[in-house]
Structure 1
């Protein structure tokens, strides 16, 4: 494997407009809206690895089942403060990891997905 472990990420949503608002506000970014094979998507601007919010048949948000993606979150404390304001909640954290790995937290997004956040050690 020459690339990172994640090469694409799909976060299922029920309400695309609400989810776009949440992720754009929390991560201070702009998502690009598109449709592919009848799946409504809002693509994150990071090309490698890439990912999108997705709505359509076969996609259902959940904080109890399925994978937990960890998104890069420098400035974790400030990001967590934006979560509640954007319509989500902090599930746990921040938690300091051993061995200079950084800190993590879990949030529930506006759609009810459990999302991991990782803040690497600066430097």
Structure 2
């Protein structure tokens, strides 16, 4: 069976309510909040059979810490088809744009970098 290499991702947060509001506003989606023992998680919507990877926001002060300069960089695929739409919502939702929409190549498309409300450095990608 062929699958994408990334099977799950977790984005560390310090304030779950603030982070949920940020991602719901930027991506116009609803996250599903799931406290699990010592963890507080908010799952991104998943469409079975769709390409891409599922993931969540996660709060656990001992094991997870947001990072703006170090660590893994997660690329979100623009659901609008043009990352300019989601990027235009970042600052109003409490984030900061680090790199505006930038052409990678004609074959690959565009990317942008931003900080979320928690200080995590993340990216957006779109073909247009």
TM-score norm. by structure 2 comes to 0.88
Q: Is 1:97 the counterpart of 2:119 in the alignment?
A: no
Number of equivalences: 121
Alpha-carbon shift at residue 36 of structure 1 (Å): 2.4
Q: Is 1:65 the counterpart of 2:65 in the alignment?
A: no
Q: Is 1:116 the counterpart of 2:120 in the alignment?
A: no
What is the alpha-carbon distance in structure 2 between the residues aligned to residue 120 and residue 38 of structure 1? 39
Alpha-carbon shift at residue 99 of structure 1 (Å): 3.8
Aligned pair partner of 2:53 in 43, 49, 55:
49
Stretches of structure 1 that go unaligned for 5 or more consecutive residues are none
Q: What's 1:88 paired with?
A: 95
Alpha-carbon shift at residue 120 of structure 1 (Å): 2.3
Q: Which runs of 4+ in 1 moved over 3 A?
A: none
CA deviations 1:4-52 (Å, max 9, x no partner) are 1321010000000000000000000000000224110000012552100
What is the alpha-carbon distance in structure 1 between the residues aligned to residue 65 and residue 10 of structure 2? 11
Alpha-carbon shift at residue 80 of structure 1 (Å): 1.0
Q: What's 1:11 paired with?
A: 11
What is the alpha-carbon distance in structure 1 between the residues aligned to residue 110 and residue 5 of structure 2? 19
Stretches of structure 2 that go unaligned for 5 or more consecutive residues are none
